[in-house]
């Protein structure tokens, strides 16, 4: 926490040196990312529900509301809000099917992310296992420093999953059919490539362009190596989002990976600055989307009431 406060202080100390027009271009790239991802998800949901009238504004609203909640909640809690809004906007939809569509959405990202992380490992960009314990800000290292507690948490998770599976055994067949419905677009490879993968490729293009403008806005070298290093740290910070945005993980990795290439204060300013800007944009967009979709800001109660109704059905 102390390191995060120091980094935030460093960011505000360097506000006057930020190139604001370039920062604005980075924000536009981020909005382009959101538009691309929601178009891809729209096609996935339409394939799952070909007879329903699925509109882009509904998938956009659900996605925007979700990332807005994720901006302030750890563990991607905003995905529950995203599912809730989508279920109430797509006629005849179910949570298992919509959840499956979100898994389909990750296929392209997983492939590209794995290639980037593989490059980082092969070229020695990422720190080795001997270095990781010395990076205290990485969120998920707590599990490795406390193996007994980590094993206990894993055991409890397995118990919970087992109990849930036993109670849900009666609905396994129905559940499986609904999940398979969410993967419908994969049974049409050409449709998947043209209407899903293509938009997700645009998303990655906007990511790279956004990082380029962010680096330049904060006065750091925006060469290909630095761009991909930043992208790798962002990918790793979302693997186990124990804090909102995985800011601790990303900050620790960036300071290590940019060591000797730039001043620590500049790196910290960049790391926190990017996170604060993205969180501000996501939170603003998500708040507006939540109100437009639900006509209320009290979404947690709505999600909880809906979950209770599903359990009683």
Instruction: Measure CA 156 to chain center.
Output: 25
Residues in the chain: 313
For residue 192, pLDDT beyond 90? yes
pLDDT tens, position by position, 35-70: 999 999 999 999 999 999 999 999 999 999 999 998
DSSP string, 13-28: HTGGGS-HHHHHHHHH
H-state helical runs in the chain: 2-13, 20-48, 56-70, 78-89, 95-122, 141-145, 147-167, 172-182, 189-192, 198-217, 224-237, 247-257, 264-294, 299-312
pLDDT tens, position by position, 7-28: 556 556 566 678 889 999 999 9
In a domain, 152, yes or no: yes
In a domain, 245, yes or no: yes
In a domain, 27, yes or no: yes
pLDDT for res 49 = 96
pLDDT for res 60 = 97
CA-CA-CA-CA dihedral for 274, 79, 297, 284, to nearest 10? 20
Bin 195: left if φ > 0, else alpha if -120 < ψ < 50, else beta. Answer: alpha
Q: What is the mean pLDDT of the chain?
A: 79
For residue 34, pLDDT beyond 80? yes
In a domain, 79, yes or no: no
Q: Distance (Å, rounded) from C-alpha 128 to C-alpha 121?
A: 9
Q: Closest Cα partner for 59 from 23, 25, 92, 98?
A: 98
pLDDT for res 251 = 66
Which pair of structure tokens corresponds to residue 11?
């960011």
pLDDT for res 71 = 84
What are residue 247's phi and psi, to 5 degrees?
-65, -35
Calculate the alpha carbon distances from 311 to 30, 168, 308 in Å: 38, 11, 5
Which pair of structure tokens corresponds to residue 33?
């990312």
Q: Three-state DSSP class for 170?
A: helix
pLDDT for res 135 = 47
In a domain, 21, yes or no: yes
| pLDDT class of 153 with cuts at 50, 70, 90 | low
Residue linked to tokens 């980590």: 150
In a domain, 277, yes or no: no
Q: Enter the pTM of the model.
A: 0.78
In a domain, 68, yes or no: no
Q: Say how many domains are in the chain.
A: 1
In a domain, 307, yes or no: no
Q: Distance (Å, rounded) from C-alpha 311 to C-alpha 247?
A: 35
| pLDDT class of 148 with cuts at 50, 70, 90 | low
Q: Closest Cα partner for 136 from 257, 265, 269, 253?
A: 253
Residues of the domain holding 214: 17-54+90-266
């Amino acid at each position: 926490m102390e390191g995060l406060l120091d980094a935030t202080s460093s960011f505000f100390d360097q506000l006057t040196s930020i190139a604001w027009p370039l920062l604005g271009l980075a924000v536009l790239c981020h909005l382009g990312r959101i538009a691309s991802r929601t178009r891809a998800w729209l096609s996935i949901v339409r394939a799952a529900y070909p007879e329903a009238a699925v509109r882009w504004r509904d998938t956009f609203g659900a996605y925007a509301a979700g990332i807005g909640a994720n901006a302030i909640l750890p563990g991607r809690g905003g995905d529950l809000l995203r599912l809730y809004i989508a279920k109430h906007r797509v006629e005849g939809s179910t949570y298992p099917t919509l959840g499956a569509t979100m898994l389909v959405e990750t296929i392209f990202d997983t492939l590209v992310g794995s290639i980037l992380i593989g490059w980082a490992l092969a070229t020695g960009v990422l720190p080795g296992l001997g270095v990781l314990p010395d990076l205290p800000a990485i969120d998920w290292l707590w599990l490795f420093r406390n193996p007994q507690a980590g094993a206990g948490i894993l055991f409890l998770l397995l118990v919970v999953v087992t109990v849930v599976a036993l109670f849900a055994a009666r609905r396994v067949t129905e559940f499986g059919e609904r999940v398979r419905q969410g993967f419908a677009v994969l049974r049409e490879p050409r449709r998947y490539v043209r209407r899903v993968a293509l938009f997700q490729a645009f998303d990655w293009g906007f990511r790279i362009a956004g990082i380029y403008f962010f680096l330049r806005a904060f006065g750091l070298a925006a060469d290909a190596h630095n761009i991909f290093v930043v992208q790798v740290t962002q990918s790793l910070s979302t693997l186990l989002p124990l804090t909102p945005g995985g800011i601790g993980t990303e900050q620790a990795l960036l300071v290590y990976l940019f060591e000797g290439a730039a001043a620590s204060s500049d790196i910290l300013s960049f790391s926190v600055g990017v996170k604060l800007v993205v969180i501000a944009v996501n939170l603003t967009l998500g708040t507006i989307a939540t109100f437009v979709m639900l006509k209320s800001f009290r979404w947690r109660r709505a999600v909880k009431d809906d979950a209770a109704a599903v359990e009683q059905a």
